[in-house]
Amino acid sequence: MAPTSTPHPETTSAPSTTSPPTTTPAPTAPPGTCPPVECTPSWPQLQNTDNRAYSTCEIPLNLQLLWSTQVDTITRNALIVANGRAYVPGDTSLHCLDAETGTLLWSYHAANILNGTPAYCDGRVFLGDKAGILHCIDADTGERTWTRQIDENPGGFSSLLVADRKIYVNTGARRAICCIDTETGMIVWEHDAGQKYLGTRTPKMAYVDGLLYVPTSEDGVYCMDACTGDVIWHNDSMFLRNCRCRPIVTENVICVSTIGNVFGLASDTGDIVWSFYTGSPYVPKVSSDGICIYFGVYDGPFAGDLVSLDIRTGELNWQVPIGESLLSGCAPLVTPDYLLVFERSGPDPAYASLGKNEEISYLLHILDRKTAVILGTYGSVRGSSVGIAIVNNRIYFCTHDGQAYCLG
């Protein structure tokens, strides 16, 4: 049954309480050096602002739990961290926690099931729901600034990209790529994809130097002028179907992923310049240090492998088996020395009676970035995660069972 919409959401204070060719594995090789990027004081969007999930923050090898907070019965998307706070999307509510202590500060009730990871910009948090409503919330107080019916009901959004005070999203029912003004919530431009489904929830666009790179489920990959919505190029190759990814953009190559494959596209034309076969029925989410890309394989012939490729050529740096299955829906977090990845570790006895995703537990591994040797492990945690954030040398994530974590 479709969720219903209420025009005035409320905020409550916190309670007291034909496949492309396969690339074959090769011996271990150092993937190069990282570009100089400072340790970010915030993680305001899914995989950060550039989709790379990269930071120069330091990670202790003996990760310890600093706090955990049960915010909801379920979280379907990733949290973000900004302004000294963690913003955690629950079922129908957005929860704001003190990033230092995990104390619940406020909860914003949208009344409809939330869709996609929210984004923070200029003291406001933006999020969408499955009734097609986009919400703008004061990041300090949790009060509603504006709401707009952008998509149809039922509908939904991809994870939000915010750049140059604009929000960029794919819409589910409307089947349009939209640019929305952050101040007013009004649509600046939209691109009608016709009958092609664009995809919602975890896909997220990329913005670089005034250009927008848009992955879709049924219509390939677009490069668009972010100001006007004009299409620069569009690759609708059959190989780019199910492109439910978060593009990584470099000067010459854009990396995208689909069911069974990871691709490099020429940034000026969108032509496929290399491909890597994963054989997995799941779309791997990719991260990068700007020189190499990293991703885990959840299922298929290479299930449990962690992979590093040269982003320019697609050549294999290394491919290492880590465990039975890696959580491909959560991109590895990348630092100059380490990678953080989730491994599915098996059923959790406490959830065995449910027979659903919640019964699966996960381990969080710290690995050497050059060799993929496991150096430390934290876990287990119940339920899967869509994204990992790192701010001020602390690790933040939430899991499908409604729990938010901070490790350090």
Q: Average pLDDT, stretch 330-343?
A: 95
Share the mean pLDDT of the chain: 86
Comparing 11-20, 40-49, 73-82, 227-236, which segment has the lowest mean pLDDT? 11-20
C-alpha Rg value of the chain to the nearest Å: 20
Measured from the Cβ of residue 295, the count of other Cβ atoms closer than 10 Å reads: 28
Give the closest residue to 137 by CA, choosing from 205, 88, 78, 203. 88
User: pLDDT-based confidence at 174, cuts 50/70/90?
Assistant: confident
> Tokens representing 376?
């430390």
pLDDT of residue 175: 86
What residues contact residue 16 under an 8 Å CB cut-off, 6+ apart?
none
H-run or E-run covering 98:
strand 93-98
pLDDT at 348 > cutoff 90: no
Q: Average pLDDT, stretch 228-248?
A: 93
pLDDT of residue 196: 67
> Tokens representing 40?
């970010």
pLDDT of residue 3: 32
Contact of 387 with 54, CB cutoff 8 Å: no
What residues contact residue 17 under an 8 Å CB cut-off, 6+ apart?
none
User: pLDDT-based confidence at 194, cuts 50/70/90?
Assistant: confident
pLDDT of residue 23: 34
Q: How is 350-384 classified by DSSP, letter by letter?
A: GGTTT-SGGGEEEEEEEEETTT--EEEEEEEEES-
Q: How many CA atoms lie within 13 A of 324 on its CB side?
A: 8
Gap between the Cα atoms of 249 and 236, Å rounded: 18
Q: What is the pLDDT of residues 23-54, one digit of tens each?
A: 333 333 333 333 334 566 899 999 999 999 99
pLDDT of residue 360: 79
Q: What is the pLDDT of residues 119-145, one digit of tens each?
A: 999 999 999 999 999 999 999 999 999
